[in-house]
Amino acid sequence: MKYLLKAAGMARSTFYYRISERPDKYVTVKTQIRRIYEQNKGRYGCRRVWQTLRVAGLVINKKTVARLMHMMSLAGITPKRHYRSYKGEVGRIAANVLNRDFTATRPCQKLTTDISQFVINGVKLYLSPVLDMWNGEVISYTVSHSPNMALVMKMLKKTFRRIEPAENALMHSDQGWHYQHAQYQLALREHGITQSMSRKGNCLDNSMMENFFGLLKNEFYYANHFTDEQTFLKGLAEYIRYYNNDRIKLRLSMSPVRYRQLYANNMSMNTRIVNNIY
């Protein structure tokens, strides 16, 4: 090239400057790409934009579309990572004692717990509840900005206030690292609670808690717009109160709390009858 530039009497810098002045041959394509991107509210990545261009009759390479979108700082919305507490194989901590037998004959006989993530204006919040399988009641819960051990241990302390060590309760969970932690296991043993864990990667083993999270998100989280954390936390407390006290469970034909109250009344009446007999 240097001989050509010398023959033409042109400096190298002048040659590259002239090249940079050439009109952009992708001006029209860029306009179409931006229109497609904006029409779909940023949901389309390069592959869908490329397919849309092809349907419109424009023959262009997919890699070219990707390069142009990168130059224009356009990127499709990527799927959000869902919170997962499992962090690799640690060892067999507890057997699946529950074995999908979700039936219970008395309060706090079988409990289940898990952690779910919520995002409020870009801020992540983590909910750690305990559900009584007997009547489906949320007997305790904690919320934190971090899915740490403090979140789970605070939840346990609240749970222990609701049950007695002599009740021989069962606590079921997935294989999240919190539930494999020695601190968690020790706390359960000290309160006479048997630990049970789902098989790895099998959400059906803890389907009662999964169902609760599904209801909570569909009826509360997705159905409302939260301006800040306090609005969310207030609404969460109201929903759990409603879920426990007012929302009718079909298998009970009444709310969880009402079912527990009737059970307590019947037990008290039976006790009085026995005492009168003897």
Question: Tell me: the pLDDT tens digits for 220-240?
Answer: 999 899 989 999 999 999 999
Asked whether residue 85 is assigned to any structural domain, the reply reads no
Asked whether residue 95 is assigned to any structural domain, the reply reads no
Last residue of a domain, one of 46, 71, 96: 71
Bridge partners (DSSP) of residue 171 are: 111, 195
pLDDT attached to residue 239: 95
Q: pTM of the prediction?
A: 0.68
Classify 260 as helix, strand or coil. helix
pLDDT attached to residue 131: 97
Residues 170 and 245 in one domain: yes
The residue ranges of the chain whose pLDDT is under 50 are 88, 90-91
Residues 118 and 191 in one domain: yes
Residues in the chain: 278
pLDDT attached to residue 90: 44
Residues 25 and 116 in one domain: no
Residues 32 and 115 in one domain: no
Residue range(s) defining the domain that contains residue 147: 110-271
Residues 158 and 266 in one domain: yes
Asked whether residue 80 is assigned to any structural domain, the reply reads no
Is residue 176 within 8 Å of residue 86, measured between CB atoms?
yes
The whole-angstrom distance between residue 96's C-alpha and the CA centroid of its chain comes to: 23
pLDDT attached to residue 91: 47
pLDDT attached to residue 259: 95
Residues 139 and 54 in one domain: no
Asked whether residue 214 is assigned to any structural domain, the reply reads yes
Predicted confidence (pLDDT) per residue in 189-208, tens digit:
999 999 999 987 677 888 99
CA distance 77 to 42: 6
Which helix (H) or strand (E) segment holds residue 142: the answer is strand 137-144
Last residue of a domain, one of 24, 50, 71: 71
Asked whether residue 225 is assigned to any structural domain, the reply reads yes
Is residue 259 within 8 Å of residue 266, measured between CB atoms?
no
Residues 64 and 120 in one domain: no
Bridge partners (DSSP) of residue 124 are: 119
In SS3 terms, 228-258 reads as CHHHHHHHHHHHHHHHHHCCCECCCCECHHH
Residues 6+ apart with CB under 8 A from 234: none
Predicted confidence (pLDDT) per residue in 237-257, tens digit:
999 999 999 898 888 888 999
Give the CA angle between residues 142, 224, 153 to the nearest 5°: 5
CA distance 221 to 236: 8
Number of neighbours of residue 38 by Cβ within 10 angstroms: 11
What CATH number is attached to the domain comprising 195? 3.30.420.10
Residues 187 and 250 in one domain: yes
Asked whether residue 86 is assigned to any structural domain, the reply reads no
Last residue of a domain, one of 44, 71, 98: 71
Q: Which two tokens stand for residue 97?
A: 């004692």
Long-range contacts of the stretch 77-81 (C-beta < 8 A, 24+)? 77/42, 77/43, 80/119
pLDDT attached to residue 235: 96
Structural domain tally of the chain? 2
Asked whether residue 81 is assigned to any structural domain, the reply reads no
